[in-house]
Structure 1
């Protein structure tokens, strides 16, 4: 297993620890949110690193193509679900974001069955960065101006989620019109 794939597996292994520190306050009290925040940030950085390393050193594998986006979705969705439980994020926002992820994953599956590879777009990358920044601010829960910034980021992440969905579908509409559909 190459380094990018090990980083992806590490990201997946970090998720349960992140969830525990987010949702079980008896472990460390106020320190929990900071531990969870560090875990989330480190996991997010592994996402950046694994892709850069894989492309730079030509270490792209089928495992990485499949597991890297899955690891990202697991991390971000786990964080947002925890934030619902903590009352920091509205469930309807998470439903829209998770629905987009299911739609794109299904879309990519259909495309793959038709021999079409749908690469990540810049809109999708902007969406991921905005979601991660939103999650970081919501976990930190610093109050004051940071609450306003977090609220703005929720709306930015939501908008980029919808824009990236429309972009994927518009650029790849042939996936829905070709093959046995």
Structure 2
């Protein structure tokens, strides 16, 4: 297995301890969870960069990268929702968008149309990671940044929604060409 794919798989594996550490109350554990999250986020950047540099871009790697991102991000948002730091509607929107876009991509693939990842999807992931960092800071430091976190939730929601619309419109454009 290639190094980029191992990095991607590590993100899936790292999700387990970081969720467990965050879910159980002591602030010290949340600090360890945050540290693991930073490491996992760095692997998200490195896996693709290394795959391109080492000429090891693969279908498996592209698949695992999407899955590992969704496992990591969704798991953390669910925990933050359970501990009362993020709103249900945002978690619902993230899960709905990711599931719908994955379905659209599978449908397109079954029709021989490839809808590649794009900058809007990457921007969505980065915006979600930024929000997660501030949620961690809120838990670890007890800073009262609730208003800022609420604003970030709305920004992330809009970016998440917009990126989903971009994928759907890309599918519709490509499927129209095939007819």
Question: What is the TM-score with the length of structure 2 in the denominator?
Answer: 0.92
CA–CA separation in structure 2 for the residues paired with 1:174 and 1:17? 42
Cα deviation 1:67-102 (Å, max 9, x = unaligned) = 110000000000000001110011111001110000
- Check whether the contact 1:111–1:118 (CA below 8 A) recurs between aligned residues: yes
CA–CA separation in structure 2 for the residues paired with 1:136 and 1:62? 30
Over the residues paired in the alignment, what is the CA RMSD in angstroms? Answer: 1.7
After TM superposition, give the deviation of residue 12 of structure 1 in Å: 0.6
The residue aligned with 2:82 is: 85
- Check whether the contact 2:128–2:156 (CA below 8 A) recurs between aligned residues: yes
The residue aligned with 1:3 is: 3
Cα deviation 1:104-148 (Å, max 9, x = unaligned) = 00011011111111111211111110001101111221423x433
Report the count of equivalent residues. 176
The residue aligned with 1:158 is: 157
Question: What is the TM-score with the length of structure 1 in the denominator?
Answer: 0.91
- Check whether the contact 2:113–2:175 (CA below 8 A) recurs between aligned residues: no
Which structure is higher in helix share?
A: 2
After TM superposition, give the deviation of residue 41 of structure 1 in Å: 1.1
- Check whether the contact 1:47–1:68 (CA below 8 A) recurs between aligned residues: yes
1:48 to 28, 45, 60: 45
- Residue 70 of structure 2 corresponds to residue 73 of structure 1: yes
CA–CA separation in structure 2 for the residues paired with 1:164 and 1:119? 13
Unaligned runs of 5+ in 2: none
Ranges of 4+ aligned residues in structure 1 off by more than 6 Å: none
Moved more, 57-66 or 4-13: 57-66
Match of 1:172, SS?
helix
The residue aligned with 1:170 is: 169
Cα deviation 1:47-73 (Å, max 9, x = unaligned) = 010011111221011211111100000
CA–CA separation in structure 2 for the residues paired with 1:20 and 1:167? 34
